[in-house]
Structure 1
Amino acid sequence: MNDAPRPTGDHPAATAPTGGVPAKRWVYVIPVAAVMYMLAYLDRNNVSVVLPYMHGDLDLSNADKGLAGGIFFLGYVFLQIPAAVLAQRWSARKTVLILMVAWGLSAVLSGLVQTRAQFYAARFVLGFFEGGVWPAVLILLASWFPLRERARANALWMACLPLSSVLMAPLSGWMLDHTSWRWVLVLQGVPPLLWAALWWFAVADRPAEARWISRAEAAHLAREIAADEAAKPAVGGGSYLAAVRQRTVLVLIGVYFFWITGFYGFSLWLPAVIKELTHDGSATEVGLLTAIPFTVALVVMIANAAWSDRTGRRRPAVAVPLVVGIVALLLGQVVDGALPRMLLLCLTAAAVYAPYGPFWAIPGQFLRFEVVAVAMGLINALGNLGGFAGPYLVGWLTDATGSSLTGFAVLAGFLAVAVVLATLGLRPGPARPSDGSQDAPAPAANTASNGGS
């Protein structure tokens, strides 16, 4: 076992951060979790590919389609904190397994609906069961990856978000050309039920419980994570209420809400925009073209997280991409030509995905493990209400004005509020002599700096 000092540079994901200690966690934990959530994201977002091709089956207006995309996030709120607490106090592995089976069955049922009200209800129930998965996996990763690796671990896991669209948008388009939208939803709800078996045997709640990990790596992780926890200040005697009332947690909720409003408003309407660019091309063509912006987003997302871990600068890694997204989103509504608009769609996608890894590394930098679960659950629950607001706003404003320009301009405004909150509300913590400049938020509720990052 190696007790070398913690380095501060960037490290390859599959090699040990300290000399000689293996790092199998990058190979075992991340891929299994990523595929699992990729399937969840598919069942959440396949509706964006399906909606333009429902051809009046349920008599949906643009506002109705926005509501169908967004109502998922009303259900998404309810299990955020309960699942986070279960993952922390009981088992992240078992919590995710139960939710995986439940959302898979819900996804299958969403293809069997007969009325608009049933479709809304199915989307709500799907969101209800998927809602607890995100915080539960963040708790799992916190048990496997020290803070100095956390943004990269988060980003590699969250890479499943754009990767799901890269792989599944063309698949959904191809399926729509060969079968009905109902069969697309039914068949795409089956894989989570199969993946649940692999999840059960491959994943452990913590290194000490994994059969495939070496004792050296398990001991190394125990030391690293214990050192991270010891460096954080106590919060109200470990009180959940004291943790979620911290100023930084409240600001993170605001940042996430306004960012996610723009994020999902863009993501869920992207296939419809591309369908317009192709002058009502086939579903397969639209699906293939939809994959391009998400491929760019995947690369930028991982690169931004690596930069954030290497420099410790979390605020710019969140705010700067969103500024780029605002500019690209607005330009995309006024420029002419399919190619320039497609390039701007790629830039927007990269910009709204890039903050994921750094953003979700922030709570663990100033909250101890016993309270961070509730804080992350609350941030994700309230922030993801923007996933309801964004798609619905775009659909409603498109119906009201006859153009998508107003809707996307409003989304740019939401992203601008997120930038202001991140820049002015997340105050930087102190610099560490060994790490250089650190830009993580200060942990104390009412002080500018108190032992950050």
Structure 2
Amino acid sequence: MTEALPHPVPAKRWAYVIPVAAIMYMLAYLDRNNVSVILPYMHGDLALSNADKGLVGGVFFVGYVFLQIPAAILAQRWSARKTVLILMLAWGLAASLSGLVQTKSQFYVARFVLGLFEGGVWPAVLILLASWFPLRERARANALWMACLPLSSVLMAPLSGWMLDHASWRWVLVFQGLPPLLWAVVWWFAVADRPAQARWISRAEAGHLERALAADEAAKPRTGSGSYLDAVKQRPVLVLIGVYFFWITGFYGFNLWLPSVVKELTHDGSATEVGLLTALPFTVALIVMIANAVWSDRTGRRRQAVAVPLVVGIAALLLGQAVDGALPRMLLLCLTAAALYAPYGPFWAIPGELLRFEVVAVAMGLINALGNLGGFAGPYLVGWLTDATGSSVTGFAVLSGFLAVAVVLVALGLRPAAGPVRRPAGLTAEEGA
């Protein structure tokens, strides 16, 4: 329990932790998604079919699985700051080297290695945020950090398009792998694992956070013996893995092929034009994503904040295949992107409400590892079905089916577990925000 404070508590953590982490992961997301802008402009290089292109996008997520749980445990037991630093340096080098590939097989390997090093970053940062933001702020903190996902596409899709108009796809990959190596310096000096270790935070704010976080932990039920195995055997954790898999299958299936759809709408426009138009859906997604997280924190309705946007996404994805005209289809692409990004903040607030800090690391690593296998399934399915049918309609219809399964799992599987956010006594919703 924590006492109410007579004066507002400073909130420097929002200005230090979130922006540095967001820019770091924005660079990671660029190195992951730049291939979606590049693929339509490879002009036969490496002789990639649509199925091959889907595999290039999807094989990243096979590598992505392996370091999820080890990195999460390292972040919790050792240091999230140091874990992310090592991975940042490794993925930056891997991203640049992927521009030097000469064969299709080498491209697959390069994407696998990139996924391997990027894989541990997501759970490590979630552990970091759990050490800085109490549960009543968690969805907003998650969403503001995860806003780097659509923001990266807003900024980098036009940049990648412009670079492709002035350089080969190989040089684009090489140059875009360099910024993480530079940002690693900023990360090392600006980020601390917990409030007590940060030089820039006041003792009042650090003490307030330590009390709030301790109260959150005390309010959580104990999970068996407190072992990792006890945590991951819980039914809600298994359901979250299923939800994330089916959602991410639709999410990345849509994301990888979005620039190709936009290119078709522009009747084979320039790379710069396609990059600028591709940024529009992600701009809408950014706004909706943050608004949904704020609503989720204020109401505690995590389930609805995940399920309702996915239902909208299903409708928009299916309707987009049935309408004609560039403007209506572009509007539906914007609606689909917003709906698929909106659940991020609320979804990743749920594990922290269910599990104690000592076990939540491995649970989040497992959810992210197995769920992100959908990142392999989605892009490959769309590419393979496009080759098989000569149209992308079937592929996007299948993605809608995957999203529908995610909605059912949220509505039925999470009903007993995902209740309102617990607020420790004496803490108000406004403090620290």
Query: Aligned partners of 1:61, 1:160: CA distance in 2, in Å?
Result: 31
Query: Aligned partners of 1:166, 1:338: CA distance in 2, in Å?
Result: 20
2:287 is equivalent to residue 292 of structure 1: no
* Shift, 1:20, TM fit: 2.1
* Shift, 1:107, TM fit: 0.1
Letter in 2 for 1:294: F
Q: Percent identity?
A: 86
* Shift, 1:427, TM fit: 1.4
Which range moved further: 347-356 or 234-243?
234-243
What does the per-residue CA deviation read over 1:168-195, in whole Å, with 9 as the maximum and x for residues that have no partner? 0000000000000000000000000000
Letter in 2 for 1:172: S
2:325 is equivalent to residue 320 of structure 1: no
Query: Aligned partners of 2:18, 2:302: CA distance in 1, in Å?
Result: 22
Alignment of 1:185-204 (within 5 A): 185-204=173-192
2:291 is equivalent to residue 303 of structure 1: yes
What does the per-residue CA deviation read over 1:414-446, in whole Å, with 9 as the maximum and x for residues that have no partner? 0000000000000145977997xxxxxxxxxxx
Match of 2:318 in 1: 330
Match of 2:3 in 1: 3
Q: Helix, strand or coil: the match of 2:275?
A: helix
* Shift, 1:19, TM fit: 3.5
Match of 1:402 in 2: 390
2:151 and 2:286 in contact (8 A); partners too: yes
Q: 1:147 aligns with which of 114, 119, 135?
A: 135
* Shift, 1:237, TM fit: 1.6
Letter in 2 for 1:317: A
Q: 2:248 aligns with which of 260, 267, 290?
A: 260
Q: Helix, strand or coil: the match of 1:177?
A: helix
2:136 and 2:421 in contact (8 A); partners too: no
Alignment of 1:340-351 (within 5 A): 340-351=328-339
2:241 is equivalent to residue 236 of structure 1: no
Query: Aligned partners of 2:94, 2:418: CA distance in 1, in Å?
Result: 47
Letter in 2 for 1:147: L
Q: Helix, strand or coil: the match of 2:102?
A: coil
Given the two structures, how large is their TM-score scaled by the length of structure 2?
A: 0.96
Query: Aligned partners of 2:387, 2:45: CA distance in 1, in Å?
Result: 19
What does the per-residue CA deviation read over 1:142-173, in whole Å, with 9 as the maximum and x for residues that have no partner? 00000000000000000000000000000000
2:135 and 2:421 in contact (8 A); partners too: no
Structure 1: stretches of 5+ with no match in the other structure: 6-17, 436-453
Match of 1:58 in 2: 46
Q: 1:100 aligns with which of 46, 71, 88?
A: 88
Query: Aligned partners of 2:237, 2:115: CA distance in 1, in Å?
Result: 23
2:146 is equivalent to residue 158 of structure 1: yes
Match of 1:275 in 2: 263
Match of 1:412 in 2: 400
Query: Aligned partners of 1:272, 1:215: CA distance in 2, in Å?
Result: 51
Match of 1:20 in 2: 8
Query: Aligned partners of 2:7, 2:367: CA distance in 1, in Å?
Result: 36
Q: Helix, strand or coil: the match of 2:181?
A: helix
Match of 1:75 in 2: 63
Match of 2:198 in 1: 210
Alignment of 1:113-128 (within 5 A): 113-128=101-116
Match of 2:430 in 1: none
Match of 1:9 in 2: none
Match of 1:130 in 2: 118
Query: Aligned partners of 1:285, 1:33: CA distance in 2, in Å?
Result: 30
Given the two structures, how large is their TM-score scaled by the length of structure 1?
A: 0.92
2:23 is equivalent to residue 35 of structure 1: yes
Letter in 1 for 2:203: R
Number of corresponding residues:
422
2:393 is equivalent to residue 371 of structure 1: no
Query: Aligned partners of 1:161, 1:387: CA distance in 2, in Å?
Result: 14
What does the per-residue CA deviation read over 1:213-243, in whole Å, with 9 as the maximum and x for residues that have no partner? 0000000000000000000111122100010
Query: Aligned partners of 1:239, 1:268: CA distance in 2, in Å?
Result: 38
Query: Aligned partners of 1:59, 1:257: CA distance in 2, in Å?
Result: 30
Match of 1:220 in 2: 208
Query: Aligned partners of 2:330, 2:354: CA distance in 1, in Å?
Result: 40
Match of 1:251 in 2: 239
Letter in 2 for 1:152: R
Compute the RMSD of aligned alpha carbons. 1.3
Query: Aligned partners of 1:429, 1:412: CA distance in 2, in Å?
Result: 26
Query: Aligned partners of 1:335, 1:413: CA distance in 2, in Å?
Result: 19
Letter in 2 for 1:319: A
Q: Helix, strand or coil: the match of 1:236?
A: coil
Q: Helix, strand or coil: the match of 2:291?
A: helix
Query: Aligned partners of 1:434, 1:387: CA distance in 2, in Å?
Result: 32
Structure 2 vs 1, CA of residues 379 and 429 (structure 1 numbering), >3 Å: closer, same or farther?
A: closer
